[in-house]
Amino acid sequence: MGTRADTREALQRAALELFLANGYDATPTAAVARAAGVSEMTLFRHFASKEALLLDDPYDPQIAEAVAGRPAEERPMRAVVEGIRAAWRDVDPDDAAHLRTRLRIVAEAATLRGALERNSEATVAALTDALITRGVAASAARVAATAVIAGLSTALLDWARSDRDDLGAVLGRALDTLGGG
């Protein structure tokens, strides 16, 4: 099939097409693998779970780097909020439509209730570590990271369920709220 990245992309594309056509709950991983031209074992070498096909997030390192680079005197919540805002500026705008589709599937599938929160643990850990490298106490770092990611998850799911607003506007308002604005 080509490179590892090509296989991952083919799996995610096949999953999205099948989830949209048949529903998340009605689509087995074997069907996704078949549609991508690989074995189910290959699918699970690339994605730890079926939900990871929708929720795999490549942005954590960028966000953590942006948070770690914030001014040392900045309070933890502000550093996370402004780090995410800065990292968002580097995201390809075409990714927003794709993200909305993925999150809409998550929002509508009964078996995915709580999936976004479960998937956010890696993001919270990356943000926590970034804050700790800035000298923030571990417990305060985890509180700030968890609060911001929980707030953003709520805003993202609300956005995904609607056809209003662009993602930049939604994230901006959520980050303003989380940052005390």
Contact between 90 and 25 (Cβ < 8 Å): no
Tokens representing residue 85 in the block? 């805002």
Please report which confidence band the pLDDT of residue 181 belongs to, taking 50, 70 and 90 as the band edges: low
Verify that 165 and 111 share a domain, yes or no: yes
CA dist., res. 51 & res. 167, Å (int): 22
Same domain, 45 and 126: no
Q: What is the CATH number of the domain that holds 21?
A: 1.10.10.60
For residue 161, what pLDDT is reported?
A: 87
Please indicate, yes or no, whether residues 47 and 75 belong to a single structural domain of this protein. no
CB distance 53 to 76 below 8 Å: no
- 10 and 41 fall within a common domain: yes
Q: Residues 78, 15: one domain? A: no
Based on the domain organization, do 136 and 157 belong to the same domain?
Answer: yes
Residue 138's domain comprises: 57-178
- How many other CB atoms are there within 10 angstroms of residue 111's CB atom? 10
13 and 69 within one domain = no
State the CATH number of the domain containing residue 159. Answer: 1.10.357.10
- Say whether pLDDT at 58 is over 80: no
Residue pointed to by tokens 């074995």: 39
Which residue in 154, 9, 135 sits closest to 70, CA to CA? Answer: 135
Residues 36, 107 within the same domain = no
Q: Are residues 14 and 85 in the same domain?
A: no
Domains of the chain: total: 2
Q: Is 103 helix (H, G, I), strand (E, B) or coil?
A: helix
Looking at the fold, whether 27 and 78 belong to one and the same domain comes out as: no
86-137 pLDDT tens trace = 988 877 777 777 888 888 898 888 888 888 888 889 899 999 999 999 999 9
Residue 109: phi and psi, rounded to 5, are -90, 120
pLDDT reported for residue 165: 77
Instruction: For residue range 160-176, list pLDDT tens digits in order.
Output: 888 877 888 888 999 99
Q: What is the pTM of this model?
A: 0.82
Residues 70 and 94 in one domain: yes
Q: In angstroms, rounded to a whole number, what is the distance separating the alpha carbons of residues 15 and 109?
A: 14
Same domain for 101 and 22: no
